[in-house]
A = this chain, B = another copy of it.
Amino acid sequence: MAGKSSPRKRARPRAYHHGDLKAALVEAAAEILQNEGLEGLTLRAVARRAGVSQAAPYRHFDDRRALVGAVAERGFRRLQDAMLQAMQAPGGGRAGLKQVAFTYIRFALDNPTEYRVMFGPEVAVTDDLPELRTAARSTLGFVAQAIAQLQKAGLVGPGDPNLIAVATWATLHGLAILILDRQTAGVAPQTDALVEEATRILMFGMAARPT
């Protein structure tokens, strides 16, 4: 918010010259995604929204993919924050997992395009996007931690918490996508019953000990 007084004239028209154009570009991209959908997300449109020239983003991002990757990274971070808050709310154990599940689905419903981009084809291969990879891995680590906690509480049976975490995340993600894609429209008018059922299956399945 606060910025140094600019050295010469023209204090207002362009607000992003104080040094954090990179963050402003990511923010602008996320807004475009939310407001206009994926087809509106062009580098040039992002630059226009941030009030800079079409070439300016190249000072901060190698190419278009890098910007999309940064948006995805932001998404994973926001998703993890939301889950963290849901875990801290009262009602641990089984109720806690259910709360996290609802939080996860709500995030996807509230940020449909951004969520789809996070798991979409463009930034799927993260070999050249190390920060995105780290953010995504961190989300998995977060889920694994939660599973380990449930195991300690005796609510989840023994087994590699990482494997169980992947299975859990997989169910949440799949549910989010199927709901977003309206695959469930004719089947589960309101999605709550669906999330309940999936959570139930998960909890019972995880409580059972491995063969």
User: Which residue numbers of A lie inside 8 Å of B, CB to CB?
Assistant: 37-38, 112-113, 116-117, 119-122, 124, 126, 136-137, 140, 144, 159-160, 162-167, 169-175, 177-178, 180-184, 186-188, 193-194, 197-198, 200-208, 210-211
Contact = CB atoms under 8 A, between A and B. Distances in A.
A60 B174 CA distance: 32
24 contacts: A112-B124, A120-B120, A136-B181, A137-B183, A140-B187, A160-B197, A162-B187, A163-B188, A163-B197, A165-B187, A166-B197, A169-B174, A170-B171, A170-B174, A170-B177, A173-B173, A173-B177, A173-B178, A174-B174, A200-B205, A200-B210, A200-B211, A201-B205, A204-B207
Given A173-B174, A205-B204, A164 B197 contact: yes
Contacts of A178: 166, 169-170, 173
Given A124-B181, A162-B187, A174-B174, A198 B119 contact: no
A71 B117 CA distance: 19
Shortest Cβ-Cβ A-B pairs, 7 listed: A205-B205, A170-B174, A201-B205, A174-B174, A204-B208, A173-B174, A116-B121
A100 B209 CA distance: 23
B136 A183 contact: yes
Each complex incorporates copies of this chain amounting to: 2
Contact of A193 (B163, B174, B207): B163
A107 to B, nearest CB: 15
A124 B173 contact: no
A180 to B, nearest CB: 7
A165 B194 CA distance: 10
Given A112-B124, A167-B201, A201-B202, 14 more contacts: A38-B121, A38-B122, A126-B181, A137-B183, A163-B187, A164-B197, A164-B201, A166-B197, A170-B175, A170-B177, A173-B174, A201-B205, A201-B208, A204-B208
Nearest to A184: B166
Given A137-B186, A204-B208, A205-B205, A175 B166 contact: yes
